[in-house]
Amino acid sequence: MKIDNVKKICVVGAGNMGHQISLLCAIHGYKTTCTDVVPEILKKAEKFADTYLPGRVEKGKMAKDVAEAARKRISFTPDLKEAAREADFVIEAATEILDLKRKIFTDLDRHAPAHAILATNSSYLVSSLIADATKRPSQVVNMHFFNPALVMKLVEVVKGPHVSDETAKTTMDLSEKLEKIPVLLKKEVEGFLLNRIFRVIGQEALWMLEMGIATA
């Protein structure tokens, strides 16, 4: 599937990352459905949309008609089947628990259209650990946003050995449509790109502290 065919997006998980990703997609013209099994979290996500958009207008950061159109494009439901049934692209932003993610992807595989790409926003679980829970492994990919997703520009797209070239390209293209700066990792690696770099920086800082070169 190519980027021009992506019209509707489903975001699974309405927590801190999920509700921001949902709103980001709606702001950039996609009909977006956000879903979560916890009613309180879903209600909080909807309240965020109702306050964030008018707030941007008040600050002069967004035109009123743009904000109103974005609000009309986003909806919230506790029903995963309803959220995914017409989605062209799904972004899972649930808790970082592998068994939970595999269960979600099994359900998504059953409910989402056959052409839909299923992406995980996981910051460290590679999609090859999840892909075989579906019948469409070539359409399962990592699409990692950084917090806060409405602000941070970088998106890590990880192309595991099971991911098709078309899936990777469409995911990169969607990132750009959302006005992000995507980086493609051609192979799966623990920690992806930024976490590995930050780990080395942290080790070097601790070494300089231990050697008495610099204070904390």
5 catalytic, yes or no?
A: no
From the list 122, 144, 162, 175, the catalytic residue is 144
From the list 75, 128, 164, 195, the catalytic residue is 195
From the list 16, 75, 123, 164, the catalytic residue is 123
From the list 19, 111, 156, 175, the catalytic residue is 156
204 catalytic, yes or no?
A: no
Place of tokens 């958009």: 53
211 strand-pairing partners: none
Q: Output the CA–CA distances (angstroms, integers) from residue 149 to 20, 71, 181, in the order listed.
A: 6, 17, 12
156 catalytic, yes or no?
A: yes
Residues annotated as part of the active site: 123, 144, 156, 195
